[in-house]
Amino acid sequence: MATVRRAAPADAPELVRLRQVMLDSVRPGPSDTSWQPAAERTLRTRLAAGDGDLAAFVVDGPDGLTACVVGAIEYRLASPGNPTGTTGYVFSVATDPAHRRRGHSRGCLEALLEWYRERGVTRVDLRASPEAEPLYASLGFVRTSDPAMRLTLSEPR
């Protein structure tokens, strides 16, 4: 397996490209790319704050990044099931199709999980595609009974 490293602000364009690879794998067909400039700006800013609550781990390839994972720490009030009130959220786990099945995503995820441990995060959530579920299960993730719900708010009037 190749070396995993912490992503830098300059990696933002490649992180966005790999996010599109991930999105295309779970939602085939034409895709809306209007989100990409905002995502790149956010990544550049948040990755520049090296000690912030967002991190990305990557594997370099000959023509750019071959794999990545991005994660954030979310803060809520402490509760019986989460005494610190912190939750790690994993997103944008992606490997370029030509470099799959080499352990790159596993290496990136393991680095992110260690980053969470170093920050005292004891609970980590993610959403898994059926294809990725065996990888997550092998790292100890289990299905939960919490049903997810979402409300999309419109911009202020």
What sign has the CA pseudo-torsion 9, 13, 15, 16? positive
Q: Which domains does the chain have, with CATH numbers?
A: 4-138 (3.40.630.30)
Span 91-129, pLDDT tens digits: 999 999 989 999 999 999 999 999 999 999 999 999 988
Task: Give the pLDDT confidence score for residue 42 in this predicted structure.
Answer: 96
Structure letter (DSSP) for residue 82: B
Give the Cα separation of 59 and 138 in Å (integer).
Answer: 20
Q: Are the CB atoms for 46 and 16 separated by under 8 Å?
A: no
Q: Mean pLDDT across the stretch 31-39?
A: 93
User: In terms of C-beta density within 10 A (0-12 exposed, 13-18 middle, 19 or more buried), how is residue 5 classed?
Assistant: middle
57's enclosing H/E stretch is strand 54-61
Q: Mean pLDDT across the stretch 5-14?
A: 97
pLDDT of 1 over the 70 cut: no
- pTM here? 0.91
Q: Mean pLDDT across the stretch 12-23?
A: 95
Task: Give the pLDDT confidence score for residue 17 in this predicted structure.
Answer: 96
Q: Mean pLDDT across the stretch 14-22?
A: 95
